[in-house]
Amino acid sequence: MGQTNEITGSCLCGAVQYTVNGTMRRVVYCHCSQCRKMHGHFMAATAIDFEHFKYTADTGLAWYQSSDIADRGFCKVCGSSLFYRPTHGKYMAIATGTLDAPTGLTSRLHIYVADASDYYEITDGLPQFSHDHDDLWED
């Protein structure tokens, strides 16, 4: 299971800040080419239902529609990559590195491993999938 408590997070410069107050899902590592290009490496993300997520500052927040199924949120001031928002509206995925520690989170699995780059190996023993499905985000 994920972590439950109020946790804060932000971009590097603080122009985007948020709180989560609820159970976050365990961390999923996404190796798709879009995540690698957006984050400079694979993405480590948790997710939370929208009703447990709140912006406390959003002056720097910008969204990029990366596909028909999702938007990606980032800070237009410092460039931090922050969020993945599926158009189905079931949850907000949060770049785990933007959460203030301690998070209490643990890792769950890897997705889109067929798209992983050639400069690293996945050797942590977590389950690996060549695709993504919404139920993979459910703990």
| Residue ranges of domains in the chain, CATH in brackets | 3-119 (3.90.1590.10)
The answer, yes or no, to whether residue 1 has pLDDT greater than 60, is no
* Confidence bin at 138 (pLDDT 50/70/90): low
pTM above 0.85, yes or no: yes
Query: What are the tens digits of pLDDT across the range 111-122?
Result: 999 999 999 999
HEC profile for the chain?
CCEEEEEEEECCCCCEEEEEEEEECCEEEECCHHHHHHHCCCEEEEEECHHHEEEEEECCEEEEECCCCEEEEEECCCCCEEEEEECCCCCEEEEHHHECCCCCCCEEEEECHHHCCCCCCCCCCCCECCCCCHHHHCC
pLDDT at 5: 74
Query: What are the tens digits of pLDDT across the range 26-79?
Result: 999 999 999 999 999 999 999 999 999 999 999 999 999 999 989 999 999 999
